[in-house]
Structure 1
Amino acid sequence: MKFDAEEFRKRSKEDFEGAWHDGPKVLSTPPVSRQYPRYMYRRARPHPVFDTIQKLRQAYLSMGFDEAMNPVIVEEQEVYRQFGPEAMAVLDRVFYLGGLPRPNVGIARKQIEGIEAITGRSIDSQTEEALRTCLHRYKKGDFDGDDLTHELSVVLGIDDATVVHILDAVFPEFRELAPESSRSTLRSHMTSGWFMSLGECWMRHPHPIRMFSIDRCFRREQEEGATRLMSYHSASCIVAGEDVTLDEGMAVAEGLLSAFGFTDFEFRPDEKRSKYYMPGTQTEVYARHPVHDWVEVATFGIYSPSALGEYGVGIPVMNLGLGVERLAMILHQADDVRKLSFGQFYPPTLTDRDLARAVSVREEPSTEAGRVLAQAIAAVATEHAAEPSPCSFPVWSGEISGTALDVIVIEPEEKSKLLGPACGNEVFINEGAILGVPDTEKFANIRANGTRTEIRFIDTVALLAAARIEEAARCGEGTAVQVKMAKLPSDVNIKIADHAMRFVTDNQKKIDLRGPIFMTVESRVRGE
């Protein structure tokens, strides 16, 4: 079915009784329908790293840089061309790519007997030769490894699952394979790709060439920590042309970082002095942010003519690069790049508003008549809550699912009241605790400073009663719904989402939705 946004908004507004808001706001009244998934009522959050990447892309594009993709897989010899004698130090921190060799599998009498024992049938000479040919073709690379199971199943006339069993039990060569390294590496810095790209395009593009690339790089750190990852994103650019100087780097740095709210800039010589930069040109960029003060955010320099000469490039080239994760850490005031990048692996911090969104009603009526009934139950019960018992009060008369009903709230026992004292409790979130509190002086601070959910026990119990009455009416019957002493959230028809429950228990906070409810609602089939 085609999604109709206008219809969605219209029906949502009706369902929420005027409580629809644009954006990620808490609804002013609890929903009375679950017609649409709850996640559709909030604006999703972007990942901080990819959000920063998107803003960097827009900044580069607005400054006149064309977007490029540089090679991720770099041959070892390219690193030697770029770094010369320093290459070994660089290669010490790169990842080499490896793969499993294809084994030379022999077919002897032992293997044939093993296959026959598993399949339960003999293998004739023609099938044996076809099997040998198939394995030889695999060794030569005539087909990929993920096709081997299928190819063998065709030769042997058996299913894929049996072939997998045969490979594991009869051919230990596959299980004992060990990866072998190649001379291909994963790019450890974007410069490796820029040299290769410039070697191909500098004579084919008008000057100056202005390109940027934002992509992953890989570095074999001893271990990952709060400030470094083995896989990170580099936002890098080059400006290549006859008149390119360090001033290009300063201008690009200021223009790029101004888009993120940085104001003042300082340019300091970088003592690391990478060999692919001309001596005296490698420069660190420090910028002042209104929140974060002075921080190092980027590095730029002029590529060494000797390194460029290895690729036949005959014009000056300025390169600027910054680590996206570092910039995102600054912008989001994060102290650990692992939590920033891989937040799903770390316990999230939920605010009281987040917890309020996670509290909802377990059971609700599904018909319009049932929803009207729930409102009537809550209204009448609230009005007569303190009436001495025994007592009963009519609530509603009408028809549900073709069954004519009369509904009452009742308390048959003597020397009591219609409702227990906890019926008027309302759910508040206070410093991570989920509490059902009455409107009394003792809980005035929680009600004044806590986060309100707009969920009262009287309303949730009324919704439960209406849902059960609605269910009985479908069978042409009346019913009685009674809630006595509430000990768990489910006793008052309240549901707390699993993620919120985990957060509350992990942080040793309290969930207290207990209390004496003592509310009884009866439905009677008219005429009985």
Structure 2
Amino acid sequence: MIFDTEEFKKRGKEDFESAWHAGPSVLTPPTTDLMYPRLTYSRAQAHPVFETIHRLREAYLAIGFQEAENPIIVDEQEVYRQFGPEAMAVLDRVFYLGGLPRPNVGIGKEQIQKINSILGRDLSEDEEESLRKTLHAYKKSEIDGDELAYELSGVLHTDDARIVEILDRVFPEFRALKPESSRQTLRSHMTSGWFQTLGAIWEKVPHPIRLFSIDRCFRREQAEDSHRLMSYHSASCVVAGEYVTIEDGKAVARALLSAFGYTDFEFRPDDKRSKYYMPDTQTEVYAAHPDHGWVEVATFGIYSPVALAEYGVGIPVMNLGLGVERMAMIMNKAKDVRELCFPQFFPIQYTDTELAAGVSLLAEPATTPGKNLVRSLINTAVTHSTAIGPCSFVAFEGEIAGKQIRVYVEEPEENAKLLGPACMNEIFVHKGAILGVPDTEKFAEVRKNGISTGISYLFAAASQAAAEIEQAAHFGIPTTVQIKMARLPGDINLKIEPWVMRYITDNNLKTDVRGPVFLTIRSEVLPTSEV
């Protein structure tokens, strides 16, 4: 069910544990059709970045590269080994890992009294001693942070809710903690991992070594923009062996990128001169594609023997890398990498067809006779649409819900037509707006270029009437359904999904289904003598 987020936010601040335990109250008990194994899930759409990763993995494997996983946490000393004089400039853009220190929690008379007050009893001497030992073990990292409440609940013989209250009210040291940085960093280049991996295996496996890895890197940019993120995916590979040269970079680039439809390639010297590459080997790869022309797609170079020597690697190594997000932007013709990666934080754009799928009926008959009744009501109404009231026409006679029912379409008012002017209006979605329009020249543009929902006012009204007649028949009673002036979607039995309404509101679009319907449908239960 939809629940009140403000209420739970308030309850969480007042009494977190109580609010947490109330969580199951927002679940709607499932009907049988929403229970496993009747409840099923089907294939959905992949995220463009991860779809690109999948294709890159398959392309690397197809050209003979084995997949590897490189360390993602890198000590800053590794950066000094790899980048030499450039290390400080690189470290300026990395994220250092930090954590909360373990507080040295004192337990004096005041703390014991507060705990006794919360528990409603006095701690025993054994409980006091066990409490001190447990907090000391936490300080020494013998107990993990997420296990502390559980351990304390056992020591103090109470539930987790009381422990959370004790930690919050008795030991303010926990709330006052501030993170402290370590010397560990998050990998900013896949290169940081390749040096360590190659140092571990180069003498133990046959040459040439061909490895690839597609994984996240983290870079502390000054700001994220349409082409840069602080967290991105690098699709990187290495070829290591006695006879590796710059030609390997060209060959790998061609073999890898051909799988994405690139046909021609140019290799241009890169103005950037990273110290972990040999002089004059850092190369930009430009490739031509039938859909988007020439684009820069990758960079490669030969690792410097100075950097390799730090890891004891004594063979040439070619490294090629490309940004997955950039490749995904090219493939999807995206203009902003932030919107490509995180569309949930940007305005959602729906087509008229997608919006039309969110328009349906509030009430419809559940049985086959009820659904046949809808067609009979429509046929009768259309046939006699211009009849002047008072008038009444039998639309259906037969069994519904085990009762013999006769149904009329009628107009009780004098000098009024059987159907009001808007009865034949149809619901269209046009340029994001939901409109109920007649088949006239004025609305020709909407009917030609908009998307029909397949719902007319008459169909919606007949469906509502059939549903109510079906329900009344279960109880063996007659009923009359009158639909007069439509002002809101519900007036004509129209259901618009919440996400559609939110889209319309957010984009200042409109829903206009106003119109005079004036339709009356009446049912009666036939006595046994007439059957």
Alignment partner, residue 208 of structure 1: 208
Alignment partner, residue 7 of structure 2: none
Alignment partner, residue 27 of structure 2: none
Alignment partner, residue 497 of structure 1: 497
Tell me how far apart the structure 2 counterparts of residues 380 and 204 of structure 1 sit (CA, whole Å): 86
2:45 counterpart letter in structure 1: R
CA deviation profile, 1:291-342 (whole Å, cap 9, x unmatched): 3222211100011111111111111111110001111111111111111100
Counterpart of 1:468 in 2: which secondary structure?
helix
RMSD, aligned CA: 1.9
Percent sequence identity over aligned pairs:
63
289 and 45 in structure 1: CA distance in 2 versus 1, 3 angstrom threshold: same
Tell me how far apart the structure 2 counterparts of residues 161 and 446 of structure 1 sit (CA, whole Å): 60
1:132 counterpart letter in structure 2: R
Alignment partner, residue 51 of structure 2: 51
* Deviation for aligned residue 1:393: 1.1
Tell me how far apart the structure 1 counterparts of residues 138 and 504 of structure 2 sit (CA, whole Å): 56
* Deviation for aligned residue 1:453: 2.0
2:60 counterpart letter in structure 1: Y
Query: After superposition, where does 1:10-159 map in structure 2 within 5 Å?
Result: 44-159=44-159
Tell me how far apart the structure 1 counterparts of residues 136 and 186 of structure 2 sit (CA, whole Å): 31
1:174 counterpart letter in structure 2: F
Counterpart of 1:422 in 2: which secondary structure?
coil
Tell me how far apart the structure 2 counterparts of residues 186 and 488 of structure 1 sit (CA, whole Å): 55
* Deviation for aligned residue 1:214: 0.8
Tell me how far apart the structure 2 counterparts of residues 72 and 85 of structure 1 sit (CA, whole Å): 23
446 and 42 in structure 1: CA distance in 2 versus 1, 3 angstrom threshold: farther
Return 95-104 or 291-300, whichever deviates more: 291-300
Alignment partner, residue 9 of structure 2: none
Tell me how far apart the structure 1 counterparts of residues 472 and 205 of structure 2 sit (CA, whole Å): 78
Query: After superposition, where does 1:277-426 map in structure 2 within 5 Å?
Result: 277-426=277-426
Tell me how far apart the structure 1 counterparts of residues 397 and 430 of structure 2 sit (CA, whole Å): 40
Alignment partner, residue 192 of structure 1: 192
Tell me how far apart the structure 2 counterparts of residues 36 and 55 of structure 1 sit (CA, whole Å): 35
1:380 counterpart letter in structure 2: T
1:413 counterpart letter in structure 2: E
Counterpart of 1:285 in 2: which secondary structure?
strand
With structure 1 as the length reference, what TM-score do the two structures score? Answer: 0.90
CA deviation profile, 1:121-158 (whole Å, cap 9, x unmatched): 12232221121111112112222111111211122122
1:307 counterpart letter in structure 2: A
* Deviation for aligned residue 1:465: 0.9
Counterpart of 1:175 in 2: which secondary structure?
coil
Counterpart of 2:356 in 1: which secondary structure?
helix
1:224 counterpart letter in structure 2: E
1:348 counterpart letter in structure 2: I
* Deviation for aligned residue 1:505: 2.2
* Deviation for aligned residue 1:42: 8.9
Tell me how far apart the structure 1 counterparts of residues 40 and 254 of structure 2 sit (CA, whole Å): 39
2:510 counterpart letter in structure 1: K
CA deviation profile, 1:170-200 (whole Å, cap 9, x unmatched): 1111111111111111111111111111111
Tell me how far apart the structure 1 counterparts of residues 34 and 167 of structure 2 sit (CA, whole Å): 49
2:526 counterpart letter in structure 1: R
1:438 counterpart letter in structure 2: P
Tell me how far apart the structure 1 counterparts of residues 363 and 202 of structure 2 sit (CA, whole Å): 68
2:505 counterpart letter in structure 1: T
- Whether 2:463 is the aligned partner of 1:463: answer yes
Tell me how far apart the structure 1 counterparts of residues 259 and 252 of structure 2 sit (CA, whole Å): 11
CA deviation profile, 1:194-237 (whole Å, cap 9, x unmatched): 11111112122221111111111111111111111111011111
* Deviation for aligned residue 1:416: 0.6
Tell me how far apart the structure 2 counterparts of residues 36 and 173 of structure 1 sit (CA, whole Å): 47
Alignment partner, residue 251 of structure 1: 251
* Deviation for aligned residue 1:62: 1.2
Return 247-256 or 409-418, whichever deviates more: 247-256
Question: Where do 5+ consecutive residues of structure 2 fail to align?
Answer: 1-32
Alignment partner, residue 18 of structure 2: none
Question: Where do 5+ consecutive residues of structure 1 fail to align?
Answer: 1-34
1:370 counterpart letter in structure 2: G
Tell me how far apart the structure 2 counterparts of residues 275 and 304 of structure 1 sit (CA, whole Å): 7
Tell me how far apart the structure 1 counterparts of residues 246 and 40 of structure 2 sit (CA, whole Å): 50
Tell me how far apart the structure 1 counterparts of residues 34 and 173 of structure 2 sit (CA, whole Å): 54
* Deviation for aligned residue 1:499: 1.9
Tell me how far apart the structure 1 counterparts of residues 463 and 396 of structure 2 sit (CA, whole Å): 14
Counterpart of 2:54 in 1: which secondary structure?
helix
Query: After superposition, where does 1:233-248 map in structure 2 within 5 Å?
Result: 233-248=233-248
CA deviation profile, 1:369-412 (whole Å, cap 9, x unmatched): 11111121112112211111111111112222222211111111
1:338 counterpart letter in structure 2: R
42 and 168 in structure 1: CA distance in 2 versus 1, 3 angstrom threshold: closer
CA deviation profile, 1:462-516 (whole Å, cap 9, x unmatched): 1111111112222222211111111111111112222222222222222111111
CA deviation profile, 1:60-113 (whole Å, cap 9, x unmatched): 111111111111111111111111221111111111111111111111111111
Tell me how far apart the structure 2 counterparts of residues 40 and 418 of structure 1 sit (CA, whole Å): 46
Tell me how far apart the structure 2 counterparts of residues 201 and 398 of structure 1 sit (CA, whole Å): 83
* Deviation for aligned residue 1:41: 11
Tell me how far apart the structure 1 counterparts of residues 41 and 419 of structure 2 sit (CA, whole Å): 35
2:512 counterpart letter in structure 1: D
1:165 counterpart letter in structure 2: E
Alignment partner, residue 172 of structure 1: 172
Return 84-93 or 289-298, whichever deviates more: 289-298
Tell me how far apart the structure 2 counterparts of residues 58 and 244 of structure 1 sit (CA, whole Å): 23
- Whether 2:228 is the aligned partner of 1:231: answer no
With structure 2 as the length reference, what TM-score do the two structures score? Answer: 0.90
Return 273-282 or 304-313, whichever deviates more: 304-313
1:346 counterpart letter in structure 2: F
Tell me how far apart the structure 1 counterparts of residues 407 and 202 of structure 2 sit (CA, whole Å): 84
CA deviation profile, 1:403-448 (whole Å, cap 9, x unmatched): 2211111111110111111111111222222111111122222212
Counterpart of 1:71 in 2: which secondary structure?
coil
Counterpart of 2:422 in 1: which secondary structure?
helix
Counterpart of 1:424 in 2: which secondary structure?
coil
CA deviation profile, 1:233-278 (whole Å, cap 9, x unmatched): 1111111111111111111112222222222221111111111111
* Deviation for aligned residue 1:43: 6.6
